[in-house]
Amino acid sequence: MKNVLIPLAPGFEEIETITVVDILRRSGARVSIAGVVEGVIEGSRGVKLLADESINNINSEKFDLMILHGGQPGTDNLKKSPRVTTLLKEMESKKKLIGAICAAPIILEE
């Protein structure tokens, strides 16, 4: 069973986040939604989600894949997170998979 990390930032694109989580969980993957801020996180269209855990508690060793959501200002908020940047570098150095939807590939350019 694959373990997937999805960081969640304020302003996330709802359909790009919720649909990915839903499909992956239905397929049997273990998906962890990790909030870059504490508490309820509001998406770009007002949908509110509560992350499974804090991004600060994430160990990249546990995950096979990391997927970045799009949306604005969600993509900018992911990009501003030092912890997301660190996790991306760790995943890349271990040759683990990274996915980015819509505007999120901008984060990978740096």
Task: Kindly name the residue from 99, 102, 105, 106 that is annotated as catalytic.
Answer: 102
pLDDT digits (tens, 9 = 90+) for 68-110: 999 999 999 999 999 999 999 999 999 999 999 998 888 888 6
Q: Which tokens in the block code for residue 97?
A: 């998979």
pLDDT digits (tens, 9 = 90+) for 1-25: 799 999 999 999 999 999 999 999 9
Nearest by Cα to 1 from 20, 25, 35, 19: 25
pLDDT digits (tens, 9 = 90+) for 13-69: 999 999 999 999 999 999 999 999 999 999 999 999 999 999 999 999 999 999 999
105 is annotated as an active-site residue: no
Q: Which ranges of 9-81 does DSSP label H, i.e. alpha helix? A: 14-26, 74-80
- Residues forming a β-bridge with 7: 34
